[in-house]
Structure 1
Amino acid sequence: MAMNDYRMNSYNSYPTTIDVPREETTSLLAKVLGITSLGFFITAVGVATSPPWGTLPGLIIVLGLVFAISFARKASPALALGLFLTLTYFMGWEIGPLIQRYIRTFGTGMVFNAAATTGAGMAVMGCVAYLFNINYRRIAGIGFAALLLLIIAGIASMFFHFLTPDTYSWLTLGVFTLLTVGDFARIRAGGDGRSAVSLSLSIYLDAINIFLAVLQLMGGRRRN
């Protein structure tokens, strides 16, 4: 998937474990969290304004913007930031009809709880990445392979139905938890030469996938 182009490059020039003083990465982390937080706010606006038919157009636009950011991130950081914020709005279109369906079925409380759980989980994973010596490239490699297997299993399950929605959500949660720890560890190690926008995109996509998995699990429990 295009979102993982950011995870698999620059293997020779930057540290792979925690060997950068924390004070040297505080500014980078603050930028990433600030950009990501603004992105989530814009996504909320996108969800609120998404049309019932917005999922497919939103998906197409988001994928196109992921590729556009990968080209713009070095040439023009300001353009890359603008593209990222545009992406977060159309991500709201992509997931908006699903979230609105959950709200109609279960109420706003479930969506809020899923968002709060995701936020708390992201904070814990960030702390783990900053407290322990983690080789983020190894984590990224394992997580990327696991994500490919998950995508293949999901496509195959559409035909052979060997994965329940809850099982797939648990697997998604595990894979993106691993990727999130790796992405925070990358920031802790100095960013691997990536810009704050590029790092924010990785963290943002991790969080969106974790949120959707948590929402599915909460909805499945309520149905049962």
Structure 2
Amino acid sequence: MLPHEMLQSQTQVERSLLSRTMGWLALSLALTAGGVYAYYAGVAPSLNPFIYFLIAIGLIFGIQAAARRNHTLAAGLLAVFSVVEGLFIAPVLSFYPSDAVVNALLGTVGIFLVAAAVVYLTSINMAAWGRYLLGALLLGILVSLATLFFHLPVSQLAISAFLGVVFIGLTFFDFWRVKAERAGDNNSLLLALSLYLDFINLFLILLRIFGGRRN
């Protein structure tokens, strides 16, 4: 195969994986919006948000376990997870004015577009980013929990800003993972799950930073 043909083939593989991954991501976000709608329409089970959170955590592990053994099961679990996330997020949205929700959503979409453009239009290598971002994420979570339980003198806004930077980094890194995926692998669903978690967490962080809570 000639060099330019190899490059063209590699580009086609990258675009194919990106389109599949973004398709799963779009479907997941649409189902989450459906979950939010179901909550406000009063047709969803009225459970404690913490219960929805625990269910969502269990589903994440279930999706990861099923992804390489039973793709159909993994897709079904992803769909259920996305709806459950909507039911979990819906009560949170009620604490913020609608313009704050819209601004947080637009900000998240903008970050995703920039991340995708930078990764796919440059040759940046982010292979070493993963371990540092994971460490930073764990640090942010631990500090947040310590502040909650031990009332440490750390600003919640500062923690949110720190976690926001971490999730922006994770968004870049996960788009790079999509680009770097090997042709023979079929991990679009798991990659979409990672990007989905980036999107939801970024959205909630921006909502906390920019959204004035209702009284």
* TM superposition score category, shorter chain reference: 0.7 to 0.9
Could you tell me which residue of structure 1 aligns to residue 37 of structure 2?
48
Q: Displacement of 1:61 after TM fit?
A: 0.8
Q: Displacement of 1:117 after TM fit?
A: 1.2
* Separation in structure 1 between the aligned mates of residue 94 and residue 120 of structure 2, nearest angstrom: 36
Q: Displacement of 1:44 after TM fit?
A: 1.0
The answer to whether the 8 Å contact 2:119/2:176 transfers is yes
Alignment of 1:130 onto 2:120: yes
Deviation per CA, 1:29-63, whole angstroms, max 9, x where unpaired? Answer: 01111111111111111122236644112101110
Could you tell me which residue of structure 2 aligns to residue 157 of structure 1?
147
Q: Displacement of 1:23 after TM fit?
A: 2.4
Could you tell me which residue of structure 1 aligns to residue 107 of structure 2?
117
Structure 1 residue matching 2:153: 3-state secondary structure: coil
Could you tell me which residue of structure 2 aligns to residue 70 of structure 1?
64
Structure 1 residue matching 2:68: 3-state secondary structure: helix
* Separation in structure 2 between the aligned mates of residue 143 and residue 83 of structure 1, nearest angstrom: 27
* Separation in structure 2 between the aligned mates of residue 100 and residue 191 of structure 1, nearest angstrom: 42
Could you tell me which residue of structure 1 aligns to residue 6 of structure 2?
none
Structure 1 counterpart of 2:95, from 83, 101, 119: 101
Could you tell me which residue of structure 2 aligns to residue 25 of structure 1?
14
The answer to whether the 8 Å contact 2:56/2:81 transfers is yes
Cα 1:113–1:63 shift into 2, 3 Å? same
Q: Displacement of 1:176 after TM fit?
A: 0.5
Structure 2 residue matching 1:75: 3-state secondary structure: coil
Alignment of 1:143 onto 2:137: no
TM-score (norm 1): 0.82
The answer to whether the 8 Å contact 1:55/1:96 transfers is no
The answer to whether the 8 Å contact 1:136/1:183 transfers is no
Could you tell me which residue of structure 1 aligns to residue 80 of structure 2?
86
Identical counterparts, % of pairs: 33
The answer to whether the 8 Å contact 2:112/2:171 transfers is yes
Cα 1:194–1:141 shift into 2, 3 Å? farther
The answer to whether the 8 Å contact 1:54/1:97 transfers is no
Q: Displacement of 1:134 after TM fit?
A: 3.2
Q: How does 1:3-14 map to 2 (within 5 A)?
A: none
Deviation per CA, 1:83-125, whole angstroms, max 9, x where unpaired? Answer: 11110100112111101221xxx2x222112111111111101
The answer to whether the 8 Å contact 1:36/1:203 transfers is yes
Q: Displacement of 1:165 after TM fit?
A: 2.2
TM-score (norm 2): 0.86
* Separation in structure 1 between the aligned mates of residue 186 and residue 12 of structure 2, nearest angstrom: 18
Could you tell me which residue of structure 2 aligns to residue 184 of structure 1?
175
Structure 2 residue matching 1:136: 3-state secondary structure: coil
Cα 1:204–1:180 shift into 2, 3 Å? same
* Separation in structure 2 between the aligned mates of residue 136 and residue 68 of structure 1, nearest angstrom: 28
Could you tell me which residue of structure 1 aligns to residue 5 of structure 2?
none
Cα 1:46–1:191 shift into 2, 3 Å? farther
The answer to whether the 8 Å contact 1:47/1:99 transfers is no
* Separation in structure 2 between the aligned mates of residue 201 and residue 54 of structure 1, nearest angstrom: 24
In structure 2, stretches of 5+ residues that fail to align are 1-8, 40-44
In structure 1, stretches of 5+ residues that fail to align are 1-19
Could you tell me which residue of structure 2 aligns to residue 174 of structure 1?
165
Q: Displacement of 1:219 after TM fit?
A: 1.6
Matched length: 199
